[in-house]
Amino acid sequence: MFTDVAGFTGFSEALGERVVPVLAEYLEMVSTACGTIDKFIGDGVIAFCRAPVPSERHAVDACAAALQCQRMLASQRAEAERCGGTPLRVRVGINTGRMLVGNIGSSEGLS
Which residues does 43 contact at the CB level (< 8 Å), separation at least 6?
Answer: 4, 5, 8, 12, 23, 26
Q: What is the pLDDT of residue 111?
A: 55
Going by C-alpha positions, the residue among 37, 50, 43 that lies closest to residue 25 is 43
**Contact criterion met (CB below 8 Å) for 111 and 105:** yes
* pLDDT, mean of residues 92-100: 84
Predicted local distance difference test score (pLDDT) of residue 100: 75
Higher pLDDT, 99 or 43: 43
- Higher per-residue confidence, 106 vs 82: 82
Parallel, antiparallel, or unpaired: how do β-strands 44-48 and 105-106 relate?
Answer: unpaired
- Say yes or no to pLDDT of 97 above 90: no
**pLDDT on residue 110:** 59
CATH topology of domain 2-96: Alpha-Beta Plaits (3.30.70)
- Nearest-CA neighbor of 8 among 86, 98, 94, 109? 86
**pLDDT tens readout for residues 4-22:** 999 999 989 999 999 999 9
User: pLDDT tens digits, residue range 38-68?
Assistant: 889 989 999 887 767 777 888 888 899 999 9
